[in-house]
Chains A and B, each alone.
Chain A
């Protein structure tokens, strides 16, 4: 009992989680610290600015209070690669002289500027921003978490072959089985096995980023799956997989519609549909997650708009309510994205396509 009692201690017990969040509450929050001390007297509270700043990507990762985690900036310029820490660009408006150009942050975007802070639009186009932004860093963090969780899960299967799930296995196995039995198998059919890695990775990638985005404090509070670039990449991958794996029935359906006189209408429509399906995926995920973040932040902003802490009586319960819905949405959107992906794959690789005979 004494041996391994440390190993048996449940780290994630509810008391510790509550204690963690309560301890974090001891630090002043970002919104409070910014808005209570506006530079130069009374600055009007602008909820749109705050919300858009949160929704967008940033070049530093807010930890607590006034502490920010600086992130590396990588710029691909016409003269060469340039790297430096984002700490040099803080506070916003500071001009940093790099190797080839000098830069400053405008609305969390890197702009080429001269020493006086005047933006140089001509040179701006020559600089591509490949920085490790907050979203990239958080994506790596969640990626590492996924790797740790699922590697330990797979090693658990290796260590206890043929046994029932235990520990992390019993948390994750139902989700894996759910994706296999209720998402992949009914939509794709017998060939589902080849697509399982893609579907599982998409599902858990979206899920963990949705969930971490909802955590209002340091390791979370990002908006990765609500960023159009991320959903774009995911849906492009889906587009490629669906169309590269498609069989002749799929292409026949697109290019040889039935009857022949529908050719001029149906071929463009079908070609549009090839792209409209992934675009719908991209926009659905992006809009849902972003909207959730906007609602939560708007409700919190109510306190500052009314300028009284009594507004919290209304806004906090509503925020909790919306947070609960957002947890549901986090699962739902991950599920819908995965489900539609497997549906599109299933449609593309279906063997006997039923042609509608008019």
Chain B
């Protein structure tokens, strides 16, 4: 029976000690510990959700980058093909222009040549004419040195006139 009879002294000291322990631990241990654990749990949770958000953001950025890259590549190709086209255009234009210029030059040269030729021909004609005249003069002069011949000629000429 003694075993199940609480002693007043022990009840008293247990009550006092337990309440002091409860107060001290509650104020200086449990409250900060639970607050710290709670805080840590929350920080882990926010870190996880933030990591998730960052992952999504990364995926979005990667997609964006890919799209950008794709469009950049397409643009580059377009620019390149454009440039090739322009180059070809320029080359063909230049060729055309060169051809045209060449033919124009040739034409000009030909005209010039013709001109020069005409001038030269005229010159030659003049020379020939004057030479012929000179020769003719000389020949005539030679022929008409004797009188008889001159008369003969005049007679001839007059006969022609009668006929006509």
Contacts and interface: CB of A to CB of B under 8 A. Distances in A.
6 contacts: A129-B9, A133-B9, A176-B37, A200-B25, A201-B18, A233-B18
Contacts of A167: none
Contacts of A229: 6-7, 10-11, 14
Contacts of B14: 136, 139, 229-230, 233-234
A140 B34 CA distance: 25
Contact of A232 (B11, B21, B36): B11
Contact of B10 (A55, A135, A161): A135
Given A150-B33, A205-B21, A162 B10 contact: no
Interface in B65-82: none
A192 to B, nearest CB: 10
Size class of the B contact interface (CB-based, 8 Å): 20 to 34
Contact of B30 (A55, A200, A228, A237): A200
Chain B interface main SS type: helix
Given A128-B8, A150-B25, A162-B39, A205 B18 contact: yes
A257 interface: no
A81 interface: no
A128 to B, nearest CB: 6
B13 A197 contact: no
B34 A180 contact: yes
B22 interface: yes
Interface stretch (A23-31, A152-160, A307-315, A323-331): A152-160
B2 A232 contact: no
B18 to A, nearest CB: 6
A153 B36 CA distance: 11
Size class of the A contact interface (CB-based, 8 Å): 35 or more
B161 interface: no
In order of increasing CB-CB distance, the 5 nearest A-B pairs are A197-B26, A157-B36, A150-B29, A229-B6, A229-B10
A107 B31 CA distance: 44
A225 to B, nearest CB: 10
A290 B3 contact: yes
Interface string A189-217: 00001001110110011000000000000
B22 A197 contact: yes
A107 B7 CA distance: 14
A133 B14 CA distance: 11
B37 A177 contact: yes
B149 interface: no
B2 to A, nearest CB: 7
